[in-house]
Structure 1
């Protein structure tokens, strides 16, 4: 969305701006995502959100729409956002992506989600196992747990 389009939208009355923005979203996705329908009575939130999202996800010339949707599928999988995941799977299918391509994105999202859990958990285990206690005062009952308290 270029600056001229943004200016045009901002100069419209709220109802017309919301209608135009949601029409553009529906053209791109083939549907209007739930959250945007939910926000349609809040133009002061909806319009900037759609403009921001659009500038990041739809205006790139470096990534094609199929790649962007596969990223969306992977991230929605990793975040375990069922609603986003289902919608982006539908969009990916409309773009002609195969079940296998979509599954690959889900696998990548799952692998990164798993790696995140492992990275956080093992770092916490190492920190606590090496005696690296949090920096709070010595009278903190939570920090002064001994082996017999576990």
Structure 2
């Protein structure tokens, strides 16, 4: 059996694209527009952004592809790692700011008497 994240798995993308050709073409056109038509952000910077996002989403394929593209555009190890650190810092900041919801949830919980069974909290499906 192949590894779950074997880079040769990417060879099957054309097979997937045949399953929904119109949507696949739309995606490829979108990607082309973002990376090659729009010029407000330099391509190397776009690749650094993609590397950061790939680390947040945890996609080893995207990490591999975008690091190689960035390197080919003159990106350095330092730039790539700094992009990863920006992603880590931003993700950590989002977690910290969302922790305010934990405070609200804790404070919103009704206090029950020692002999009373507290109501069950709502179910989370995430």
TM-score by length of 2: 0.70
5+ residue gaps, structure 1, are 1-32, 134-139, 144-150
Greater relative contact order (CA < 8 Å, ≥ 6 in sequence): 2
Secondary structure of the residue aligned to 2:108 is: coil
Q: Structure 1 pair 130/48, CA: closer, same or farther in 2 (3 Å)? A: same
* 1:110-149 correspondence to structure 2 within 5 Å: 110-120=88-98, 122-131=99-108, 141-142=120-121
How many pairs are equivalent? Answer: 105
Over the aligned positions, Cα root-mean-square deviation in angstroms equals: 2.5
Superposed displacement of residue 94, structure 1? 1.2
State the shift of 1:45 in Å: 2.3
Deviations 1:84-103 (A, max 9, x none): 11211111111111111111
CA distance in structure 2 between the partners assigned to 1:51 and 1:101 by the alignment: 28
- Cα offset, 1:38, TM superposition: 4.7
**Partner SS state of residue 37, structure 2:** coil
Q: CA deviation at 1:115?
A: 1.6
Specify which of 69, 78, 83 is matched with residue 47 of structure 2: 69
Whole-Å Cα distance in 1 between the matches of residues 27 and 51 of structure 2? 20
1:58 to 36, 46, 49: 36
Deviation at 1:75, TM superposition (A): 1.0
Normalising by structure 1, what TM-score? 0.60
